C-alpha cells in the first residue's frame, strides 16, 4: 500500500475501555409520534426507522447532563481500570463531533476534569465518525516513538439539539419526500461517551496489543454527508455506494500486509442495519462475529466503536483477534487490529 496507508505498532497496548451510556431512552415510536403530521402529509408509513435503519431506540442525556462531563466520567473509569494515575498521562485526545463552541477545544475541559498534569498534551481530533480510531492510531505512534507512556482517548456526543431541530424542520409544510429522506439519518443519532487508555505493551503484559491497521480516503465524496447542529443532510444511496467501494478497496489492498478474514470480533461503526449488512456482505465477514449496538443505542458517532468494544470486552478472551472498522463522512475508512 502506498504512503502512510498502513501502520504497524510495535509496543502499544489497549489497557482499558469504558463507556457512559445516556440514561434517557428515546424510542423510534416516539419520534414517529412527533412526526405524524409530516408522515401523513408525505404519505410515508410509520416505523421507517425500525424497518429501514433497524434503530428502535437511542439514548439522550437527562436535563443538566453534559456530553463532556460524561466523557470525563468514562475517562476516570478507564484510568481506574487501567491502574494508571492521572499524573502519568502524557496525552489526551478528544474525538467528539459534538462541541459547545468553536474554541477552546473540548479537550481542555476534559483535561481539567480528569486532573491531568500541565505536561499532558491535549487537543481535539475531528474526523467525523472515525475520530476515535484515528486518535488511537496517533497516540499509539507517539507511544512507539517514546514521547509518551500513556494516552487517554475520549469521545462524548449529544444528539438532542440536532434531533429536535430536524424534527421541527421535517414538520414544516414546505418539505417534500426527498427533503425528508435526506435528513432521515439525523433521526438515528444517539448520545453517549467513551474513553480508552493505551500505554506501552512491555510495561503492561496484561494489556491488549494494538498491532496496526490501514486507512484510505475517497474525498471526492466530501459532500455526500454534511452535518451541523441544524441537521445532518445525506445522499444515502450515493453515500452507501461510495462507502462500500472504499471499504472493499481498503480491505483488498490490506491483504498483502494483514490477514483479517477470520477475526474473533469485527467492531464496526454503528450506523444502521443497511450499513452493517452491506459491510458484512462486501467484506465477506462472519455475521456472528459482528456485534450490533445501533438497534438500542443508535449511531453515537465516533463513540460508537469504543462503546461497542466496551460491551464486548467481558466476553473476549486472551488471544482473540479484534478488528475495529469504520467509515466516516468525507469519505474516509480506517481498520485497526487489536490482539486481545
Sign (positive or negative) of CA dihedral 239, 131, 264, 253: positive
Does residue 265 have a cis peptide bond before it, meaning omega lies within 30 degrees of 0? Answer: no
CB 188 within 8 A of CB 127: no
Catalytic residue, candidates 62, 63, 103, 314: 103
The residue from 57, 129, 225, 337 that is catalytic is: 129
Length of the chain: 340
Respond yes or no: is residue 129 known to be catalytic.
Answer: yes
Burial 129-150 (b: 16+ CB within 10 A, else e): bbbbbbbbbbbbebbbeeebbb
**Which H or E run contains 311?**
helix 304-313
29 flagged as catalytic? no
**327-339: b (≥16 Cβ within 10 Å) or e:** bbbbbbbbbbbbb
Distance, C-alpha 139 to centroid of its chain: 17
Q: What is the DSSP string of 136-173?
A: HHHHHHHHHTTS-SEEEEEEEE--HHHHHHHHHHHTST
Q: Check residue 127 and report its DSSP letter.
A: B
Q: Can you tell me whether residue 59 is helix, strand or coil?
A: strand
- What H or E segment, with its residue span, contains residue 60? strand 57-60
> Could you give the residue numbers annotated as active site?
103, 129
Amino acid at each position: 500500500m502506498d504512503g502512510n496507508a498502513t501502520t504497524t505498532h510495535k509496543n502499544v497496548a489497549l489497557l482499558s475501555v469504558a463507556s457512559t451510556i445516556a440514561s434517557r431512552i428515546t424510542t423510534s415510536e416516539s419520534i414517529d409520534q412527533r412526526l405524524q403530521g409530516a408522515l401523513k402529509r408525505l404519505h410515508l408509513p410509520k416505523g421507517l426507522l425500525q424497518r429501514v435503519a433497524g434503530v428502535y431506540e437511542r439514548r439522550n442525556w437527562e436535563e443538566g447532563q453534559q456530553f463532556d462531563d460524561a466523557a470525563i466520567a468514562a475517562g476516570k473509569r478507564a484510568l481506574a481500570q487501567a491502574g494508571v494515575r492521572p499524573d502519568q498521562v502524557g496525552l489526551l485526545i478528544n474525538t467528539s463531533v459534538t462541541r459547545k463552541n468553536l474554541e477552546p477545544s473540548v479537550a481542555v475541559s476534559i483535561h481539567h476534569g480528569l486532573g491531568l498534569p500541565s505536561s499532558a498534551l491535549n487537543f481535539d481530533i475531528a474526523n467525523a465518525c472515525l475520530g476515535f480510531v484515528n486518535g488511537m492510531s496517533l497516540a499509539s505512534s507517539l507511544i512507539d516513538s517514546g514521547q509518551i507512556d500513556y494516552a487517554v482517548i475520549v469521545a462524548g456526543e449529544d444528539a438532542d439539539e440536532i434531533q429536535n431541530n430536524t424534527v421541527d424542520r421535517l414538520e414544516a409544510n414546505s418539505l417534500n419526500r426527498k427533503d425528508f429522506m435526506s435528513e432521515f439519518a439525523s433521526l438515528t443519532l444517539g448520545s453517549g461517551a467513551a474513553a480508552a487508555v493505551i500505554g506501552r505493551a512491555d510495561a503492561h503484559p496484561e494489556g491488549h496489543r494494538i498491532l496496526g491497521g490501514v486507512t484510505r480516503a475517497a474525498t471526492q465524496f466530501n459532500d455526500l454527508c454534511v452535518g451541523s447542529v441544524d441537521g445532518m443532510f445525506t445522499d444515502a444511496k450515493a453515500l452507501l455506494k461510495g462507502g462500500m467501494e472504499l471499504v472493499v478497496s481498503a480491505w483488498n489492498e490490506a491483504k498483502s500486509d494483514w490477514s483479517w478474514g477470520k477475526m474473533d470480533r469485527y467492531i464496526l461503526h454503528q450506523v444502521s442495519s443497511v450499513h452493517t449488512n452491506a459491510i458484512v456482505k462486501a467484506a465477506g465477514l462472519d455475521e456472528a462475529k459482528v456485534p450490533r449496538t445501533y438497534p438500542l443505542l443508535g449511531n453515537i458517532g465516533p463513540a460508537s466503536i469504543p462503546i461497542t468494544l466496551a460491551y464486548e470486552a467481558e466476553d473476549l478472551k486472551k488471544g482473540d483477534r479484534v478488528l475495529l472498522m469504520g467509515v466516516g463522512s468525507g469519505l474516509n475508512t480506517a481498520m485497526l487490529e487489536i490482539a486481545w
